[in-house]
Structure 1
Amino acid sequence: MILVTGGTGLVGAHLLLHLVENGKSVRAIYRTATSIEKTKNLFSIYHKSNLFEKIEWLEADILDIPSLEIAFQNVDYVYHCAALISFDPKDEDAIRKTNIEGTANIVNFCLAYNIKKMLFVSSIAALGDPNAAETIISETTEWNPEKPHSDYAISKYGAEMEVWRGQQEGLDVLIVNPGIIIGPGFQEQGSGALFSAVAKGMPFYTLGTTGFVAVSDVVEMSVKLMASDIKNERFTLIENNYSFQEILNCIADSLQVKRPQWHATPIVMKVFWRIDWFLNTFLFQKRKVSRASAKASYSKSNYDNTKIKTALNIDFKSVKEYCNQILNPHS
């Protein structure tokens, strides 16, 4: 039996589809019945609705110990995909509690139930900080606690520390660090919001650079790693490093809508997040841009995918081609 946490999110839902397609016995945990509908909708997008019933769903929470005791019964392998993703500073406590304490709980249960192997879906946000002589970020780049990091990045780094603690106590583990994950079915959250924003006529772009990856590659490589003899390693999962302008233009072209025309410079983004803070603080509007996300939009970070390509002898799908495939599946 395989246990998947976060099965109602982008990676977890695609992972569930992949596993049941390949005849695996799968259990997924959920917090609310309505959240399962997102995964069910994803199966229908791929015309695989008949496979949805093969998943054993169990109501549980990674912060609720009694429910996890039931979830771990007769489990051999664990994919830990559950996480709280937010760049709103007001969510700091919830992010750290969910992502760090929740991961610690999963690790503890893996140890207690003698799980054969656990794979944790982390993020490139938890990778290290390059020094002045470095231009590429890899699995060996050291984390510098003196440098500023978003609450999300800190929570993912803290979660990884819990995973390595489990490894020191005898658990076989794997960590994957995906870049910004592109995929269908979750258009109002995470990277899916990019598609929605462009479709609505997003007017501006930034020239920041980061790593992007197709969700299908994250799933395929995670499954291959789990099935291999590889253990106690971490792997950066990115197809390539792109500017936000390139990706936004690609999405706009696939949607056949106008490309974002206005370059939001670093100065503009600094003004933007301050206005956003004011609207949130005094008019109670939902945060759209935090200081950390504004900085990320114009920062140029480049990641190295050599390790995973060498380990699995595998190539990534082109993110640009995948964007078009998502939006035009029959083209």
Structure 2
Amino acid sequence: MILITGGTGLVGSHILLHLIESKNLRNGQIRAIYRDTDSIQKTKNLFAHYNKSTLFEAIEWFRADVTNVPLLEKAFEGIDCVYHCAAIISFDQKDEDKMRKINIEGTANIVNLSIANKITKLCYISSTAALGDLAPNETEVTEESQWNPDRSHNDYAISKYGAEMEIWRGQQEGLDVIIVNPGVIIGPGFTDQGSGLLFKRVKKGLAFYTTGITGFIAVTDVAYSCVYLMESEYKNEKYILIAENNSYKNILSAIADNLKVKRPSIAVNPIVLEVLWRLDLAVSFVFRKKRGFTKATARGAYSQVIFSNEKIKKALDKPLQNIEDYIKNNRFL
């Protein structure tokens, strides 16, 4: 039996769909953890988005939390392999403790129970945020890039890096593992988080774009890659999951074309972004509001980081989708 944590999120729900559809799984063969009943509806809506509502019934839902060990112990009963997708993503410093508890402590719990239950293989969905830093002689980030503790890293990156350390601890204790580090994941169904917010903002009429460059990948390719690697002989490896490095300008333009709205046309320079995150900090402090635009968000918007995808391209049995074509040829809202 397969266990999915984070089955009510973008990646977890697509892994559920891919597994059920490609492996003809039935109820009793795949279990997904959820924290509240309302969150299940998001996954159900996603299946309906793809006209696959009948496949939703194959999922055995189990109410649990990655920080609640007694409930997790019951969730692991009869499990053979695990896809660990559950995480909290935030760039607000107020969420630091929550991220450490869920992303690091929660992953440690998954690792410990995987070892105790003799799980055959564990796939951990990490992030490019947890990858190493560019050395002076490097031009692109690879799986071998070294994390430099003396460099500045945001709390989310630190929590995902800490989670990876728990995965490697499990590997040292005999657990077979796969770590994947996706870049910006583009996909439908979750407009209140991640790249889904880009679609929502462009739909409302986004006039501005930033000069940043980063790695992008379609969520369907993330799901396919995870399942392929788990069912292959590859083990105890990590893979950067990006289809290509591209600019935010190109991606936002492709989204605007997909939604049939005006493309963002005004470039925002780094100085303006630096001012904006400081203003947001002041407003948050004065009015006790949650951060809307953090330093990490601002610097990510104008940084130009190139990621290598050579390792995953060699491992897979088919090419990853061109991200602009993926946006052009699919429905998102």
CA distance in 1, matches of 2:202, 2:284: 23
1:46 to 45, 50, 57: 50
Q: Whole-Å Cα distance in 2 between the matches of residues 314 and 179 of structure 1? A: 19
CA offsets per residue over residues 84-138 of structure 1, 9 Å max, x none?
0011111111011110000000000000000000000000111110111111100
* Paired positions, count: 329
Quote the residue 1:79 is aligned against. Answer: 83
2:270 corresponding residue in structure 1: 266
* Contact residue 189 and residue 332 of structure 2 kept, 8 A: no
Output the CA distance in 1 between the equivalents of 2:6 and 2:317: 28
How far apart are residue 328 of structure 1 and its match?
7.4
The aligned counterpart of 1:218 is 222
Q: Helix, strand or coil for the counterpart of 2:205?
A: coil
**Contact kept in structure 1, 2:187 and 2:332, CA below 8 Å:** no
- What is the rounded CA distance, in whole Å, between the counterparts of 2:154 and 2:204 in structure 1? 28
Query: What is the match of residue 201 of structure 1?
Result: 205
Q: Does 1:256 align with 2:257?
A: no
- Cα distance in 1 between the residues matched to 2:245 and 2:292: 24
Q: C-alpha displacement at 1:236, in angstroms? A: 0.5
Indicate which of 150, 153, 175 corresponds to 1:149.
153
CA distance in 1 between partners of 2:255 and 2:63 (Å): 36
1:184 Cα deviation from its structure 2 partner: 0.4
* Alignment of 1:23 onto 2:24: yes
Equivalent-residue separation in structure 1 for 2:122 and 2:307 (angstroms): 24
Which residue, 85, 90, 98 being the options, matches 2:102?
Answer: 98
Report SS of the residue matched to 1:43.
helix
Which residue does 1:63 correspond to in 2? 67
| Alignment CA distance shift 1:299-1:118 (3 Å) | same
> Shift in Å at residue 283 of structure 1?
2.1
Mapping 1:1-331, distance limit 5 Å: 1-21=1-21, 22-24=23-25, 25-327=29-331
Deviation at 1:159, TM superposition (A): 0.3
Identity in percent: 56
Q: What is the alpha-carbon distance in structure 2 between the residues aligned to residue 44 and residue 124 of structure 1?
A: 30
Contact 1:183 1:326 in 2 (8 A): no
Q: TM-score, normalising length from structure 1?
A: 0.97
Q: Supply the distance in 2 between the matched residues of 1:49 and 1:230 (Cα, whole angstroms).
A: 32
**Residue type matched to 2:321 in 1?**
K
Return the offset for 1:204: 1.1
Backbone CA RMSD of aligned residues: 1.1
- Structure 1 residues 326 and 188, CA gap change in structure 2 (3 angstroms): farther
| 1:103–1:163 contact (8 Å) kept in structure 2 | yes
- For the 8 Å contact 1:181–1:213, the answer to whether it is kept is yes
Amino acid of the structure 2 residue aligned with 1:23: N
**What is the CA-CA distance between 1:20 and the residue it aligns to?**
1.2
Q: Deviations over 1:280-305 (max 9, x none)?
A: 11123332210111111111100000
Could you tell me which runs of 5 or more consecutive residues in structure 2 were left unpaired when the two chains were aligned: none
Query: Structure 1 segments of 4 or more deviating over 6 A?
Result: none
